[in-house]
Every structure is written in C-alpha cells, then in structure tokens.
C-alpha cells in the first residue's frame, strides 16, 4: 500500500477525506501522527463491542471482560502497536482479535488483580448496556471466534444504517427513511409498496424507485465502511463476501 495518494483519497460518494481508515493508521506508522491516532480511536469506538463479547464468550465475567477490553484498547492507543503491522496486508478486525488474544494471555501470566486501564476509561461505553446486549446473544455452541465475526458484521451494518439515517435526516426526509427502511431487505416489508406509498402521499412507482435508491446507497455505504477496516481497496470484495457469509449463518 502506498502511503501517498491513496491515504487521503476521498470516499466514494462523499466529499470528506477518509480520515477514519485503517489504511491511514498503517500508512502513518507512528502515533506521532494526530490523524492516525484519531483514526485508530474512531475505529476502536466503533468496534469495541465485538471484543467485549469475545472476552465474555471466552469465559470472563462481566466486570473482567469490561476491564480487559478497556485495558487492551488503552494499551493499543498508548503503545503505538500498529507501527509494527505490515502496511502491505491485514484487516483491522484480524489485527484486533490477534492483539486481544495476546493481551489476554499476558494478563493470565501476570495473574494480577489490578484493574486494567488504571481506572481511567480510554473509551466511553456503557458496560451495563453491553452486558444486556450480550445476554441476548443466541444460546448455542458458537465459538468465541465465530461470535466475534458475527458481532463485527453487526457493528458494521449498524454504522451503515446510522449513516443512512443521518443523510435522510439532514435532507429533511426522516419520515421517508422510517418507511423505506422496512423494505431495505427484499421480501421483509409487511406492507406493499402501494400501501406504504399511500401513507406518504407518493405513487407506488415513486416509492418503489425510492426503495431501489435506498438499497443502492446502502450497498455503497456498506462498501465504504468495509474500506475503513482493510489496508487495501482490493480487499473490500473478499471482506464483503466473508461478512455476508457470516450473517447468512445467522
């Protein structure tokens, strides 16, 4: 990956620089770069829950999982761990999981009861809400690694919906979005296009076209979110296939 040119390229369909990409972190290769540090923190804020769920599935209790997740992220942000990662390959999710496994092994060896992170949260997240969310996970034999993959995919999809909703809200079309999202996945809407369109004062054909535009935009944002977490644009298609397969397994 070249640190020049591709690093600050604009996102497809957007007018802002790609400042929250894993590629920015890798290209900088140094925590002295404010942009790289901010990019890494943003990515960690987005994808901390899969790490927490992984620790819980590994058998750690609620408080230990919270402390370990905070401690790992603090270490990641303070020790410039990404400077040792090859800029030629690597997905952010793979880097995080490998780093967390190493961190957990190190903590076991130390066998310390000291709270990780020194009592100073590195990222703000609702631990109680995280545990409530984890309690809703399917009761099955899903391995910690598979659960991590699933929660990663769900976190990514959540970001896509957040961005979609923001776009509609800023355009003054919040009500339209609330109706359109019911048809985001083909075959899942309880109403027909005609019924939904009538409540919005639209024709059935106009509503159908709006659904098609929404799905196209969703796909575009899905690609953009994945692009944030890979080191090369060429990895996007493979990552999309992988995450779609993860979601298809339920």
Report the predicted TM-score, pTM, of the whole model to 2 decimal places: 0.80
Total domains, the chain: 1
Asked if pLDDT for residue 3 goes beyond 70, the answer is no
Summarize pLDDT for 52-72 with one digit per residue, the tens.
999 999 999 998 998 899 889
| 153 is a domain residue | yes
Q: What integer pLDDT is reported at residue 80 of this predicted model?
A: 66
- Asked whether the beta carbons of 3 and 87 are under 8 A apart, the reply is yes
pLDDT (mean) for 120-146: 75
| Stretch 21-36: mean pLDDT | 76
64 in Cβ contact with 104 (< 8 Å): no
The pLDDT score that the predictor gives to residue 1 is 29
Neighbours of 44 (CB within 10 A): 20
pLDDT for the residue numbered 245:
92
Query: Is 110 inside any structural domain?
Result: yes
Helix (H) or strand (E) holding 228: helix 204-228
State the pLDDT confidence band at 217, using cuts at 50, 70 and 90.
very high
Asked, for residue 4, whether it belongs to a domain, the answer is: no
Cα distance between residue 148 and residue 104, in whole Å: 15
State which residues form the domain around 188.
Answer: 22-248
* 15 domain-assigned: no
Residue among 147, 138, 123 at smallest CA distance from 246 = 147
């Amino acid at each position: 990956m070249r640190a020049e040119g591709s690093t600050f390229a604009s996102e497809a369909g957007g007018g802002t620089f790609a400042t929250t990409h894993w590629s920015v972190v890798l290209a900088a290769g140094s925590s002295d770069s404010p942009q790289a540090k901010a990019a890494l923190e943003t990515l960690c804020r987005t994808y901390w829950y899969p790490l927490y769920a992984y620790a819980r599935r590994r058998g750690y209790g609620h408080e230990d999982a919270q402390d370990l997740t905070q401690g790992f992220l603090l270490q990641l942000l303070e020790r410039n761990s990404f400077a040792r990662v090859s800029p030629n390959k690597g997905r952010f999710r793979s880097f995080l999981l490998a780093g967390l496994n190493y961190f957990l092994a190190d903590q076991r060896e130390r066998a310390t009861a000291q709270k990780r992170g020194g009592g100073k949260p590195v990222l703000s997240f609702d631990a109680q809400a995280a545990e409530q969310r984890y309690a809703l996970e399917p009761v099955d034999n899903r391995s910690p690694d598979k659960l991590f993959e699933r929660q990663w995919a769900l976190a990514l999809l959540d970001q896509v919906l957040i961005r979609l909703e923001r776009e509609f809200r800023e355009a003054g079309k919040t009500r339209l979005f609330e109706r359109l999202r019911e048809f985001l996945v083909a075959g899942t809407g309880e109403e027909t296009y005609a019924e939904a369109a009538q409540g919005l004062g639209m024709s059935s054909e106009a509503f159908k076209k709006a659904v098609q535009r929404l799905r196209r935009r969703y796909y575009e944002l899905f690609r953009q979110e994945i692009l944030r977490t890979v080191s090369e644009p060429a990895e996007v298609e493979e990552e999309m296939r992988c995450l779609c397969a993860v979601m298809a397994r339920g």
